[in-house]
Amino acid sequence: MSEIEQLRHDLVIANRILAHEGVVDGFGHVSARHPENPARFLLSRSRSPELVTIDDIREFDLSGEMIDPDGSQSYLERFIHAAIYELHPEVNGCVHSHSEALLPFGITSVPLKPVFHNASRIGREVPVWDIATKFGDTDLLVVNMDHGRDLAKSLADNRLVLMRGHGLTVATEALHTVVTTAIYAVVNARVQTTAMQMGDVKFLSEGEIDAAISKAKKTTVGHKRIWEYLSRRAGCEDLLDS
């Protein structure tokens, strides 16, 4: 299988994993930067992630336009992905979701911060982007490049940005890591919320977060193990390496 074919397969798996794990529902999406042409990215046509197949994957440019339009509908919020890839050359995978457990951290002054080892991948800091700051009253959706670029700018060099009253966007160096980061962000939000109800919370130190992220970048064993586990849970046996 060529690199691009493999990536299309992995993107379908990523869609199904995120749906199965409850990170996305009928809404939300995941994309990957094109491995040979960094000015393009792969994203499904407008379809619920759980139902995405290889035939649904389309290519887009960094202004959010579909390459070779075929009349199929695109996600309204594809500009999130376009602007993230445009402004962040090191990013190769992006997830946008509305995960319920994370929403409180976008509408209060309580910062989302890693509270356990596997959640260190969300990074030291999780900024909150408020569309109203620059654009006033909108329907809260990111529907053009101006919105997208403003969001991408507030991500800065972090791995996750909360979107006030809407959801979140995760952007990392690879498709596999963006999927696990999106999953563990939800778990961290749940654990942090529970812990805060119990009393004072001890967060990971910045040094612990940096050490965990740098170790994760050096090894592929853990990535393969979690990907295989998540793929099988999501019923993707037919799409795994054969």
Residue with tokens 């563990």: 184
Query: Six-digit token pair at 54?
Result: 């290889």
Q: How many CB atoms lie within 10 A of CB 140?
A: 16
| CA dist., res. 80 & res. 202, Å (int) | 33
Q: Which of 50, 77, 100, 208 is catalytic?
A: 77
Query: Catalytic annotation on 173?
Result: no
Of 81, 182, 179, 203, the C-alpha closest to 122 is 182
* Cβ partners under 8 Å of residue 106, min gap 6: 128, 162, 163, 164, 165, 166, 167, 168
Catalytic residues: 77
